[in-house]
A and B are shown apart, each in its own frame.
Chain A
Amino acid sequence: MNPSKSEWMEALTARHGITLHKRFTSATVAVCGLGGLGSNIAIALARAGVGKLLLIDFDRVDITNLHRQQYKAKQIGCYKTEALTENLLEIAPYIEVKAVTAKITEANLADLLKEADVVCEAFDNAQAKAMLVNGVLEQLPNCYLVAASGMAGMDTPNTIKTRKVMKRFYLCGDEVSEVADSIGLVAPRVMLCAAHQAHTVLRILAGEYEV
């Protein structure tokens, strides 16, 4: 049986302190793309008590996703938005999740993301990443953006890092390791990058803007 909402909030407050707890629970964070990056980012933010998660993806869970993405075998074939919502609410029953099954484009991103305090770019396609980054920086002047580039393969974990590119734009990853025929994505290195993104989001919400 789930604990009550007041027990839940008390436990989070005890861990984070009242100031951080209020900042986390009052925030809305968008996760764009619910693959290896996005599913891990969303779980980390849900555990931290981020008040509202906006999840956006057009795809369904595939058997080839399960080596790195936070889904279960029985969820193969489900929309990622629906499967991840289910998993998140099992972990953290008192967050609010808004899931949108749609493809994000230059034309719809401002409307889809307008309520977000912070947007996480978690796509896997390089052109889609660039489209979202340019779109958010051009169209949403008050929004923070945490993107990712370069986390494929078996290279050392120690090259995954976070840098602040400009005022509202942070970039995580090694910036070079691209997916190719002979170089895939392995769970821990993708999770490292997702953890950089999720932690950067929490730091922004905490008012810590430098890396």
Chain B
Amino acid sequence: MVKVNGTELDIAGKTVSEYLAITNYDSKRIAVERNGDIVFKSQYDVTVLENGDSLEIVSFVGGG
């Protein structure tokens, strides 16, 4: 299981890109943290989620 923003999900084995593709996140508006470190945008396609990982996805909204 992988914890995503506090919720346990059965997505181990997927890459970050594969997981994002089944969500409503707009990849141009997010930052992804995995186990406390930023996931580089260039690594979304090759970063494979493992059991026990903790993922935090921040999605930005407009205004400032």
Cβ of B56: which chain A residues have Cβ within 8 Å of it?
A: 165-166
In the bound complex, CA of A149 to CA of B61 (Å): 6
B21 at the interface (CB under 8 A from A): no
Asked if B10 lies at the interface with its beta carbon under 8 angstroms from chain A, I say no
* Interface contact A166-B64, CB-CB below 8 Å: no
Interchain Cβ contacts within 8 Å, total number: 82
Query: Which residue on chain A has the smallest CB distance to residue B32?
Result: A134
**Quick one: which of B33, B63, B64 contacts A38, CB cutoff 8 A?**
B64
Q: How far is the CA of A122 from the CA of B36 in the complex (A)?
A: 23
Taken residue by residue from 32 to 53, chain B's Cβ proximity to chain A (1 for < 8 Å, 0 otherwise) reads as: 0100111011000000000000
B20 touches A (CB below 8 Å): no
- Given A123-B64, A151-B63: A138 and B40 interface contact (C-beta under 8 Å): yes
Q: Is A148 an interface residue (CB 8 A)?
A: yes
Contact at B31–A124, with CB atoms within 8 Å? no
In the complex, which residues of chain A have a beta carbon less than 8 angstroms from the beta carbon of B41?
134, 138
Tell me how many residues of B have a C-beta within 8 Å of chain A: 18
Contact between chains at A130 and B28 (CB < 8 Å): yes
Beta-carbon contact of B61 and A166 below 8 Å: no
What is the interface residue range for chain A against chain B?
35 or more
Pair B63/A152 contact, Cβ less than 8 Å:
yes
Inter-chain contact B61/A134, CB cutoff 8 Å: no
Contact of B64 among A122, A165, A167, A171 (CB under 8 A): A122
Seed contacts A166-B37, A178-B61; 9 additional CB < 8 Å A-B pairs? A124-B62, A129-B62, A130-B60, A133-B58, A134-B41, A137-B31, A152-B62, A176-B61, A179-B61
User: Measuring CB to CB, which residues of chain B are less than 8 angstroms from any residue of chain A?
Assistant: 28-31, 33, 36-38, 40-41, 56, 58-64
